[in-house]
Amino acid sequence: MASSRRRPPRRRVWPKVRLLLLVAVVAAGGTALYPVWKAANPDPPELKVRYRTGTPATAAAAKPSFEVFNDTEKALPLSDVTLRYYFTADGAPGPSSYAFNCVNAAFGCSHVAGRVVAMDKVTDTADHYLEVRFTAGAGSLKPGANSKGIDLQLFRTDHKRLKQSDDRSFDAEMTSYKEAEKVTAYKRGVLAWGEEPDGTKASDEKKASAKAAPDAVPAPPAGVLFDDFSYQGPKDPALFKHGWLVRTSKGGPGIENTWAAENVSFPTAQGALRDGPVLNLRASTDGTRSGTKQASLGTRSGEFRDGTYAARIHFSDDPAKGEGGDHVNQTFYTIGGSGTKYSELDNEYMPNGGWGRPGPKLDTVSWYDHESNDRVYRTTGKSLDGWHTMMITVEGDLVTYRMDGEKLFSSDGKYAPRSGMSVNFNHWFVDLPFKGDRAWDMKIDWLYYNANESLSVNEVRSAVEDFTGQGMNYFDTVRESR
């Protein structure tokens, strides 16, 4: 009798195998297609850069303005960000033929550093770039936040006009902020926005091979003013924004009512700390009061008092043109207060003397009262033609004057400053002893003031070299601290 039990059905294995094979094929195809998909669907950028300019193609200076946007869900420290603006050098020999300054930034120009770099691989529209970086003091952008406008100027140090039509990053039509991929941005050294001149884009995988992140720009020290005078001229808006005033007001000293803005300029000078602009103050005359122009630049702020004042100055024994012999006064000084608070500290170099006293001579003078001529001073009777680091230190009631590290004079007691002061450079005529056209120049490479310490000349020079090496051509944390 045949068994009534049925044989169990065979398990259907093949459809499952086919399904697994299908999944594997699809996965393999997906892996092969991933680069194509990735190219069509790149990761969203971590940041964006918008750009505008207010200048035509031919201009005295390029004036790029940038906005940086944080497109992530985390805070973005601006100190992690580097911007590059690409241009051609208009036949100028190298990066030292260009200078930049910051006119305005929401977080303060004291936290903007920059340098001009010659490119290894040049293109028709780029052989240099302006690299812009930020200190930790610039702060961080919250998710979705905008840095707001960062207004810069880029100009030739010979002050010739720029031709921007062949500059990669320039676009005359962008007079309002628009996204600009020809301005590149890097986050900790990795391309995060834009397209480099060689075609590398932020979305490219090869961007990961970027150089190691540069060292962070150090935050400027508190209570310090530094300026290397990278300006276009007496009407440069950055000059006023950075706290300087070009004197055009009436009064003395010297030939009264002859202070002229046009006698303040920023040429390059041989022997300066780095190749670039210096402040030049010209005293010029034809021997008549109406034909005389004097020059002065000083800080708007009058809150400088204790600490170290230092400036690298080129004194001149001979005129830049015309006959010598004038009683010119080339001055680095501080002044402030009035009445019982009057304060003044002077370095006055007179290559041909003045007031009946022969030259060359340097008078270092501490004042108590200018109306009664109550002062103490010492005269250094020798030629100072050339570059010198002039310093004044104020420690309590002790004032010390030094030149190139050598102590010249000290005063104390009532002759110490009793109020905050402004810092000034003047070039003027004591008198007009003869007729004829002539012009005298006084140059200033940089100014450094430290409210916190009494420093040696080597400490000052080291600090200045560190600042300029980082691209920090100006900062003022004295005003920031008020």
Predicted pLDDT at 45: 82
Confidence of residue 9 (pLDDT cuts 50, 70, 90): very low
Count of other CB atoms within 10 angstroms of residue 101: 28
Read off the pLDDT of each residue in 442-466 and give the average, rounded to a whole number: 97
Q: Using one digit for the tens of pLDDT, what is the confidence trace for 402-421?
A: 999 999 999 999 999 999 99
pLDDT greater than 90 at residue 40: no
Question: Which residues sit opposite 186 in a β-bridge?
Answer: 82, 191
Averaged pLDDT, 142-171: 96
Confidence at 173, pLDDT banded by 50, 70, 90: very high
pLDDT digits (tens, 9 = 90+) for 205-259: 665 444 566 788 999 999 999 999 999 999 999 999 999 999 999 999 999 999 9
Least confident range from 10-14, 184-188, 447-451: namely 10-14
- What b/e sequence results for 28-60 when a residue is b if at least 16 CB atoms lie within 10 Å of its CB, and e otherwise? eeeeeeeeeeeeeeeeebbbbbbbbbebeeebb
Q: Which residue has the tokens 């000290």?
A: 410
Report pLDDT for 4.
42
Query: In whole numbers, what is the pLDDT of the chain averaged over residues?
Result: 91
Residue 22 is predicted with a pLDDT of 44
Which long-range contacts (C-beta less than 8 Å, at least 24 apart) are formed by 188-195?
Answer: 188/80, 188/213, 189/82, 189/213, 189/214, 192/45, 192/46, 192/47, 193/45, 193/46, 193/47, 193/48, 193/49, 194/49
* 109-134 per-position pLDDT tens digit: 999 999 999 999 999 999 999 999 99
Q: What pTM was computed for the model?
A: 0.89
Residue 402 phi, psi dihedral angles, 5° rounding: -135, 155
Give dist(CA 196, CA 187) in Å, integer: 14
User: What are the C-alpha distances in Å from 87 to residues 76, 94, 147, 344?
Assistant: 27, 12, 24, 47
